[in-house]
Structure 1
Amino acid sequence: MITIEICIGSACYVKGSNQAVTILQTLLKDKQWEDKVEIKGSFCMQSCQGGHGLGIKINGRQMLGVGLHNIQEVVEEEVLALLS
């Protein structure tokens, strides 16, 4: 099972983490990955404080530079690599 953690702290929430969850839920449904990938909320990853975008980890690996503009592409690429 691949785990995606998304920061739901106040700063990331303001930057759209709630929208990111919706985007990823749609992606998982469209790709039929619901039984292979789970999405979890997480508290502060300090990603936004460092200017690295939304706080998101995939299987514990911090993803940098992720925002609403590219979250779908970044996650899709990473999940595909992990599934292969």
Structure 2
Amino acid sequence: MVTVEVCIGSACYVKGSNEVVTILQELIKEKGWEDQVNVKGAFCMQVCTQGLGLRVNGKQLLGVGLHNVKEVLLQEITAALA
């Protein structure tokens, strides 16, 4: 099981973390990962200046924004499932 944590703190929310959740849910459905990926909300990850707060299996992802989130999550989740 892969765990993806999305920061729902105020700074990340303003940057679009709610949209990230929607993108992530669509990606999971598109790839058929419903039984393999668990999505969780998390509070501040202290990376606000380096992009949205996202972790995959505890690995902090940096430099992620709405412009590249789908590609980054696809790469990270695929690698974690391998």
Give the alignment's TM-score, normalised by structure 2.
0.97
> Which ranges of structure 1 fall in alignment gaps of 5 or more residues?
none
SS at 1:45 equivalent: coil
Percent identical pairs in the alignment equals: 63
**Structure 2 match to 1:15:** 15
**Structure 1 match to 2:55:** 57
Partner letter of residue 10 of structure 1?
A: S
Give the alignment's TM-score, normalised by structure 1.
0.95
- 1:6 paired with 2:9, answer no
Distance 2:77 2:19 in 1: 19
> Which ranges of structure 2 fall in alignment gaps of 5 or more residues?
none
Number of residue pairs aligned between Structure 1 and Structure 2: 82
Q: RMSD across aligned C-alpha pairs, in angstroms?
A: 0.6
